[in-house]
Structure 1
Amino acid sequence: MAFFYFNGFITASIEDARGVNWIFIPAGLRIFLTLIFDYAGAAGLVLASLLINYIGFYQTDLVTNLGIGVICGLAPLLGRHFVIHNLKVSPDLSNINMQQLLGSITAYSFLSSGLHQLWFVARGLDSGSANHFIAMFTGDMAGSILFIAIIKYGIDFIKQKSNKTNLLD
């Protein structure tokens, strides 16, 4: 939830429509959580999205908010399973490389923005359109790459400062 509101604060000037951002850093967190925690991560994302919408981000009916919540958890989970089954990544992610991670980000971004836009149109929200799909896809890609880069370089920085090659030692 904190990433969602933080992202809204720092990207408010480039928001395309309500819930449609040109840079959406929480997308990276969604991928990260589902890659690591699989179904539990997806369930946590659904609950967080429901809470965000319950607090009042989207002031819509319960069915609309439930659909948004399910999409927030389902899209990264489907992206994870796409990578595991189609890009030959082991379920424990021990053999994932940067190209496969970018494949996961692309699959997630496409699924998330596509499913969100279909749901927004079906529910009559102003945020639903082909143009908003492009903005949301771009925002999910940019935010995911930014989030993953921050994690990677943060780990590299910590390893360098602690003179360790493995943080688990």
Structure 2
Amino acid sequence: MILISAASFFAFFTLNDWMLQWLEHSEHVNWIFLPAGVRLLMVLVMGFPGAAGIVLGTWAVSLQDGQSWSLLLVGNGLISGLVPWMVLRWGWSCFHSLAGLKPDTLFGLVLSYAMLNALTHHLFWWWIQQSPPSVLTGLTAMAIGDVVGALLVLYLLKWGLDRWSLPSPNPR
């Protein structure tokens, strides 16, 4: 499960970079960030193994981009995987699957995750003195990108599940 999560995150990150690079605000901060939906989905479906896979997938993306092992690389990976897990574990433990998730609940989950993720990343970058020049704009771009990307991925998945799920058998 960890490898599936890592590979999914890596693939969506690569897809996002290829398709939506023109919407990049700064390095790895996009106005639409599809991997945010993968983060939530993997943690929702797999729990902690999904979060661990996101950590590994984030490290793989960073290493592929030429970063070396550093506090920045390790911290970004840990934040990327653990923030969605913490949001689901402590704040949204009231549901256990995407199937029964109502649209307003899904929106609240995504909003909570996106705000905490952007805030945590920017606080970490400030702490290690790697903050982008415009912190407020970067924080806003990351939060909006995570919200839009996560909603796109999760609502498309929910739509697909609703549309193509097998009909339940009629009990007699």
Determine the structure 2 residue equivalent to 1:121: 126
One-letter amino acid matched to 2:114 = S
Which string of whole-angstrom CA distances, capped at 9 and with x for unpartnered residues, describes residues 63-98 of structure 1?
1100000000111112212111xxxx1446775322
Give the root-mean-square deviation of aligned CA atoms: 2.0
Aligned residues: percent identity?
28
Give the aligned length. Answer: 157
Over 3 Å counting, the alpha-carbon distance change for 1:122 and 1:93 in structure 2 is same
TM-score by length of 1: 0.84
Which string of whole-angstrom CA distances, capped at 9 and with x for unpartnered residues, describes residues 132-166 of structure 1?
0000000000001100121122223323xxxx325
TM-score by length of 2: 0.82
One-letter amino acid matched to 1:102 = F
Secondary structure of residue in 2 paired with 1:65? helix
Determine the structure 2 residue equivalent to 1:75: 83
Alpha-carbon distance in structure 2 between the residues aligned to 1:46 and 1:24? 17
- Structure 1: any 5+ residue segments left out of the alignment? none
One-letter amino acid matched to 2:75 = G
Alpha-carbon distance in structure 1 between the residues aligned to 2:51 and 2:141? 23
Secondary structure of residue in 2 paired with 1:72? helix
Which string of whole-angstrom CA distances, capped at 9 and with x for unpartnered residues, describes residues 97-140 of structure 1?
22222111111101111111112222333536111000000000
Check if 1:132 corresponds to 2:138: yes
Determine the structure 1 residue equivalent to 2:113: 108
Q: Return 74-83 or 140-149, whichever deviates more.
A: 74-83
Secondary structure of residue in 2 paired with 1:16? strand
1:44–1:73 CA contact under 8 A, matched in 2: yes
Alpha-carbon distance in structure 1 between the residues aligned to 2:132 and 2:73? 14
